[in-house]
Amino acid sequence: MITPHVSGTTPHYLKRALNVFLDNYAAFSKGNAWSRWLTKRRVINGQGSKMTMNHVSNVNDMLLRVVLPYIPVMPMYQHLYGMSLKRGQQKEINGYILRYHPQASVFSSVHQTGAVVLVGNAVNPFTGELEQNIVDHFLANEVGKLEDGRLRTELIDYVDQLTGRFRLMFIENGAVCALCDATALASLYFFQQDDSIYLSSHSQLLAETVGSERDSEVQEIIDSGFYSVGRKHLPGYKSPFKGIELLGANVYISSLLKKSPNIPA
């Protein structure tokens, strides 16, 4: 039987999900075992188990960071242009400029030939690592992160363990690869022009940065009657602006390849 990925949705989903979280948070506050805790191995074996606060460090941090993430504004680009984010913080990282909201959660680890930037909130539930530990983990291994413009398999395997709402950027010898969390909860738009790459959490902010005009064909879709029905989504990875695309789940953008390779299963 083949069903759409929304086939399990019911009008009671949010209430039930919230009740599970509240029950687990109450159990955590009292030092009791959590319910419905699954790991990859237990899922494969079809076995669930209970998890106590002694199994992992910084549990309170992880609960609040994963459930209540802050969604930042994050444009990253190689050359400065006119920005509407005039009050943003700014960093220069290995020849690239990162500008972000003062309250955004930004973590970075920089080496002479490479850097890793994480914007948002992430946790590795298998190791207990939080954001700064995660970016440090990427640079701890002396092996390069990119191979012929592609992310190495070992790096992808580690990214696969992460959960949360985040964007990750890898810089190595002037090249950039970027991706977002596994379900693309943290949006990431990109624009490439010649040898420059521009990344942002918002398509309009990116359009203002690079001077992109609205796409008339996409505007016809936005102006149509069906677009106002239900949740408003453009087809595929389109944005309202020319040359600006949304980076979806399970893909990444490579400045060397000038395309979005799929992340292998």
Q: Which residue has the higher pLDDT, 195 or 4?
A: 195
Q: Shortest CA distance to 101 belongs to which of 89, 84, 118?
A: 89
Find where tokens 């022009």 sit. 193
User: Could you tell me which residues are beta bridge partners of residue 125?
Assistant: none
Q: Residue 57 pLDDT > 70, yes or no?
A: no
Q: Residue 74 pLDDT > 50, yes or no?
A: no
- As a whole number, the mean pLDDT across the chain is 76
Q: How far is CA 205 from the centre of its chain?
A: 18
Positive or negative torsion for Cα 238, 240, 244, 249: negative
pTM, full prediction: 0.68
- Residue-wise pLDDT tens digits, 210-265: 899 999 988 888 888 777 776 677 877 889 999 999 998 888 999 888 777 777 66
Q: What percent of the residues of the chain are helix, what percent strand, and what percent coil, each to the nearest 5?
A: 25, 30, 45
How far is it, in rounded angstroms, from Cα 6 to Cα 245?
24
How far is it, in rounded angstroms, from Cα 29 to Cα 3?
39
Q: Residue 109 pLDDT > 70, yes or no?
A: yes
In this prediction, residues 140-150 reach a mean pLDDT of 77
Q: What percent of the chain is predicted at pLDDT more than 70?
A: 74
Q: Shortest CA distance to 249 belongs to which of 236, 258, 240, 235?
A: 236
Say whether 118 sits in a helix, a strand or coil.
strand
Strands (E), 125-162: 129-130, 146-147, 150-151
Q: Residue 121 pLDDT > 60, yes or no?
A: yes
What are φ and ψ of residue 178, in 5° steps? -140, 145
Confidence class for position 60, pLDDT limits 50, 70, 90? very low
For residue 226, the 8-state DSSP code is G
Q: Shortest CA distance to 210 belongs to which of 246, 244, 258?
A: 244
Count of residues making up the chain: 265
Residue ranges and CATH numbers for the domains of the chain are 13-55 (no CATH), 76-254 (3.60.20.10)
Find where tokens 């700064």 sit. 132
- Residue-wise pLDDT tens digits, 10-49: 677 778 888 888 888 888 888 888 776 655 444 444 444 4
Please tell me the predicted confidence (pLDDT) of residue 191.
92
Please tell me the predicted confidence (pLDDT) of residue 37.
66
